[in-house]
Structure 1
Amino acid sequence: MTLKDKILRTALRILNDEGLAQLKVERLTKELEISKGNLNYYFPKKEDIIITLFRDFNDKQQAIRDRINPEVSDIKAYHETVVELFSLRRKYRGLTFASASKSYPRQVMIEIDEQFKGRNKFIESFWSALYAQGLIKYLPDEEELKMVIDRLYLITNYWILMYEYHLSGEMGYKEAVRYFANLYMQELQYYVTEKGNEQLQEVLNMN
């Protein structure tokens, strides 16, 4: 593992376990036993570390989305992809907590915006494919689809906060991932055809 990778891994652990306020240059150099010059060689500012982590997160999310073909994927494939994306989000949960900060520089906000664009494109393409396969009754118009995406966004971004602060003592994280992924999938219940409902109920009843 390169020093750059070690810096990123340590920074993500601190973000995940202790939050943005504890991600400090002095903390990183002490834990990694490196000089400030070594750290600055790769990341001149703390914000550069956060930006890199956001980009890594975005790239891994997109890699998951790119592995599937919405044109031939059904509700089960959609569900499996959502579960995988939720699992990845927990691995990078510190970024979800930190994204609530209003002190982020403009470049970080650009990375967050790229996340939104990738998510929206994924949802739109999958719903179009489900409609083409006769699994949903109709495609929501632009305004309705925006409301759907906004509701899914709330689940996608805030399930991890709900779990970490309220439910971690009641269920393991894998159980939580599936629980909230099922909650996400239930948005389809208002749109599915009889054929689509059979698939939806199958994935919702999976252990």
Structure 2
Amino acid sequence: MKTRDKILDTSLELFNEKGYGNVGNREIARYLNISPGNLSYHFSKKEDILIHLLNEFRDNNSNYYNVYHQGVPSLDAFLGLMKNIFHSQYKFRGVYIGNQFVQMDVASSGQFDYVQNASARLENFRQIFTDLVAHDYLKASESGIDFLVSFISLFGRFWIQEVFLLQTENDEEKIIRHYLKILKKQLSMFATKKGKKSIKKFSLKNFIA
């Protein structure tokens, strides 16, 4: 593995374990047994590591959305999309937006437009829910779609923070199944008969009661 990739992997591991604000470049270098100068050759500032990881996080999620959009809309497929997104958020939890130190460094760098990315995601969700209504998986008016977009925006941002605030479970699969269960129950309130069958299909495949 190249030194640059080792730096990124180790940084993410340390950010996840200790929090972004509690890890500095010297600690990353010490953990890798390389000199601070060697690290700064690849990344002159910690913020550069952060931006690279955030871009990787964004690109991973974009790939998941692209795969979803290439298929036929269904609640089974949508819940599968969210399962992948939750795993991605868990993997990058140490740099996931919501951390005040991350927010400050993102804002000061000018290299990652969080507002633009967040706005694009909301429009994406609006289109997804609109398509699910059109394909008879959801029954929702415009205000219902507005509610679902707001719900998924809040839920998608804050579930991961609740996990590490409460720290009652360390098993990633169990954690994500728990939050998928909450999500599918919310969706079931808007689901048509066809939609409920699609949710059940996802539940059976993923062992979610």
Which bin holds the TM-score, normalised by the shorter protein? 0.7 to 0.9
Q: Is the 8 A contact 2:122 2:149 kept in 1?
A: yes
Aligned to 2:87: 87
Q: Is the 8 A contact 1:62 1:118 kept in 2?
A: no
Q: Is the 8 A contact 2:54 2:95 kept in 1?
A: yes
Between 38-47 and 160-169, the greater mean CA deviation after superposition: 160-169
Q: Is the 8 A contact 1:65 1:81 kept in 2?
A: yes
Aligned to 1:178: 177
SS of the counterpart of 1:72? coil
Residue identity over aligned pairs, in percent, reads: 22
Per-residue deviation, residues 96-131 of structure 1 (Å, max 9, x unmatched): 376333533424684433442343233122212212
Aligned to 2:188: 189
What TM-score do the two structures reach when normalised by structure 2? 0.84
SS of the counterpart of 1:93? coil
Aligned to 2:198: 199
Q: Which amino acid aligns with 2:185?
A: Q
Per-residue deviation, residues 11-65 of structure 1 (Å, max 9, x unmatched): 1011100012322011112122222222222211111111111001000111111
Per-residue deviation, residues 146-205 of structure 1 (Å, max 9, x unmatched): 443232122212222222332534x72202102212222333233222222232344346
Q: Is the 8 A contact 2:75 2:132 kept in 1?
A: yes
2:128 to 126, 147, 161: 126
What TM-score do the two structures reach when normalised by structure 1? 0.85
Between 58-67 and 109-118, the greater mean CA deviation after superposition: 109-118
Between 114-123 and 70-79, the greater mean CA deviation after superposition: 114-123
Partner Cα distance (1:108, 1:160) in 2: 25
Partner Cα distance (2:162, 2:111) in 1: 23
Partner Cα distance (1:200, 1:105) in 2: 37
Partner Cα distance (2:15, 2:110) in 1: 15
Partner Cα distance (2:192, 2:52) in 1: 42
Q: Which amino acid aligns with 1:197?
A: K
Per-residue deviation, residues 66-102 of structure 1 (Å, max 9, x unmatched): 1122661211111111111101111111123763335
How big is the alpha-carbon RMSD for the aligned residues of Structure 1 and Structure 2?
Answer: 2.5
Partner Cα distance (1:199, 1:21) in 2: 42
Structure 2 unmatched runs, 5+:
none
Query: How many correspondences in the alignment?
Result: 204
Q: Is the 8 A contact 1:54 1:108 kept in 2?
A: no
Aligned to 2:57: 57
Partner Cα distance (2:98, 2:191) in 1: 36
Between 196-205 and 17-26, the greater mean CA deviation after superposition: 196-205
Runs (4+) off by over 6 Å: none
Partner Cα distance (1:178, 1:26) in 2: 37
Q: Is the 8 A contact 1:155 1:180 kept in 2?
A: no
Q: Kindly tell me: are residues 48 and 146 of structure 1, through their superposed partners in 2, closer, same or farther at Cα, counting changes over 3 Å?
A: farther
Within 5 Å, give how 1:32-71 maps onto structure 2: 32-69=32-69
Q: Kindly tell me: are residues 122 and 185 of structure 1, through their superposed partners in 2, closer, same or farther at Cα, counting changes over 3 Å?
A: farther
Q: Is the 8 A contact 1:20 1:98 kept in 2?
A: no
